A and B are shown apart, each in its own frame.
Chain A
Amino acid sequence: MDKKLRVGWFSFTCCEDSTILFIELLNQHYQDWLKKIDFVHARALRRETNGELQKMDVAFVEGAISSDRQEEKLKKIREKTNILIAVGSCACVGSPSNQRNFFNRENLDEIKPILDKFKYKEKVLKLSEVVKVDELIPGCPMNEEIFLRMMEKYLEIS
Chain B
Amino acid sequence: MHDPNSDLNFDINLEEISKIEGAASLQIKVRDKKIEDLKFSISEWKRFYTQAIKGKPATAIPQLVARICGTCSNAHLLCSIEAVEKAFNIIPSAQTMLLRKLLYYGLIIRDHALHLYIFSLPDVYGKNSILDFDENDPIQHQLLDDTFAVKEVGNQLSIVVGGRSVHAPYPTIGGFLKLPKIEEIKSLKPKLLEVRPRIIKLVKIFTQAPFILKFNYPITFSGLVSPDFSFLEGFIQTSQGKTIEEKNLGDHLRGVIIPYSQARGFMFDSNYLMVGALARLNISRDRLNQKTKIDLADCLNLFPSTNLFHNNLAQAIEILHAIDSSIDLIDRLEKIDLEAPPKINFFETTGIGVIEAPRGTLYYQLNFNNDGTVKKGEIIVPTGQNQIVMEKAIYQLVEDLLAGGKTKEEIVNEVEKLIRAFDPCMSCAAHFLKVKWR
Contact = CB atoms under 8 A, between A and B. Distances in A.
A23 B45 CA distance: 23
Contacts of B8: none
A114 interface: yes
A113 B435 CA distance: 9
A147 B380 CA distance: 33
B44 A13 contact: yes
Interface residues of A, number: 45
A99 B47 contact: yes
Given A13-B45, A17-B73, A141-B166, A103 B129 contact: no
Contacts of A16: 21-22, 69-71, 427
A47 B18 contact: yes
Interface size class of B (residues with CB under 8 A): 35 or more
Interface stretch (A26-34, A53-61, A128-136, A149-157): A26-34
Contacts of B434: 110
A17 B129 CA distance: 20
Interface string A30-55: 10001000010001111111010000
Interface string B148-186: 110110010000000011110000000000000000000
B45 A20 contact: no
Interface string A1-28: 0000000000111111111110110111
Contact of B131 (A21, A45, A110, A118): A45
B67 A96 contact: yes
B47 A97 contact: yes
A114 B46 contact: yes
A14 B54 CA distance: 20
A94 to B, nearest CB: 11
A119 to B, nearest CB: 10
A21 B46 CA distance: 22
Contacts of A23: 114, 118, 151
Contacts of B151: 23-24, 27
A19 B152 CA distance: 15
Contacts of B164: 141
Given A16-B22, A45-B118, A46-B19, A21 B152 contact: no
Interface in B195-236: none
B100 interface: no
Given A13-B45, A15-B67, A26-B148, A39 B131 contact: yes
Contacts of B359: none
Contact of B437 (A13, A66, A114): A114
Nearest to B70: A17
Contacts of A18: 70
Interface in A35-92: 39, 43-49, 51, 66-67, 70
Given A20-B114, A27-B148, A97-B47, 10 more contacts: A16-B70, A17-B167, A18-B70, A24-B155, A27-B152, A28-B152, A34-B131, A96-B64, A107-B54, A141-B166
15 contacts: A12-B45, A13-B47, A16-B70, A17-B166, A19-B70, A21-B166, A24-B152, A39-B131, A46-B132, A66-B45, A100-B47, A103-B51, A118-B262, A120-B45, A141-B70
Interface of A: 11-21, 23-24, 26-28, 30, 34, 39, 43-49, 51, 66-67, 70, 96-97, 99-100, 103, 107, 110-111, 113-114, 117-118, 120, 140-141
